[in-house]
Structure formats: structure tokens, C-alpha cells
Amino acid sequence: MPGLGPDSPETHPTYRLSGQLEGGAHQKVYLYERAIYKAKNRVDSTQADAQGNFRFGGHVSEPTYYMPQTSLNTQALYFYLENIPMHINGQADSLYQTRVTGSPQEAIRQQHDQVS
């Protein structure tokens, strides 16, 4: 029986990033880590369903800057990913206008952008 040591997935909270992109039916969705302090950044991908819905899941050691992209374009949206349920909603062809909800750190970043 496996233990619950410090490296066990059961001891770490996980993120659950779900999304819906209008016009994103069956598109490949990429999730790029953008941590400038790391030598290598992670990349994940998934396929959106017929309605443009997609999901990612995993663990980050701290709130970390990420960027989603689709196979339709390379426009950037940057946001903080945390180990909580989060949601992305928007248009597949204009990701820079996409809305990300669920993250307290991302909410602070969005407020900062509004006053800057």
C-alpha cells in the first residue's frame, strides 16, 4: 500500500482549469508555463470538445504565470494558475480578451492592470 509521503499526489492540492472557447470546437488547446525563474517551463495540451469545452488538471508548487493558446492563433493571455478550481471563458480567436476566474492571485493582477 503506497504511503502519503511528501511527494505523494494525495498530499498536494491540485488545480482544475476548465474552459469554454466560443469558436474553439475540436481545437487543440495548449497551456504554457511562463515562469522566468525556471530553466525549463512545462507545456500541456488537450483537445476541446464539439462545444469548445476543455479541461486541464495538475499541481503547481505556488501561484505561477501561465499562458493558454489554441491552434487557431498565438495571441497571448497571461494569468496566475493556482491549486484551486479555475475557469477560462472567451473566444478562441481572441484569447487576449478571455476572462479567467477563480484565482485570488489572478483577481489581484486584473485589478492592478485596471489601474495601471
List the CATH number of the domain containing 66. 2.60.40.4150
Residues 68 and 86: their CA atoms lie apart, in Å, by 13
* Full domain range(s) for residue 19: 12-115
The residue count of the chain comes to 116
Domain membership of residue 3 (yes or no) is no
Residue 14 has pLDDT above 60, yes or no: yes
Mean pLDDT throughout 86-102?
90
- The reported pTM is 0.80
Tell me the pairing of strands 43-47 and 28-33: antiparallel
Tally of structural domains, the chain: 1
Domain annotation covers residue 57: yes
Domain assignment of residue 83, yes or no: yes
Residue 4 lies inside a defined structural domain of this protein:
no
2 belongs to a structural domain: no
pLDDT digits (tens, 9 = 90+) for 37-55: 888 888 999 999 999 999 9
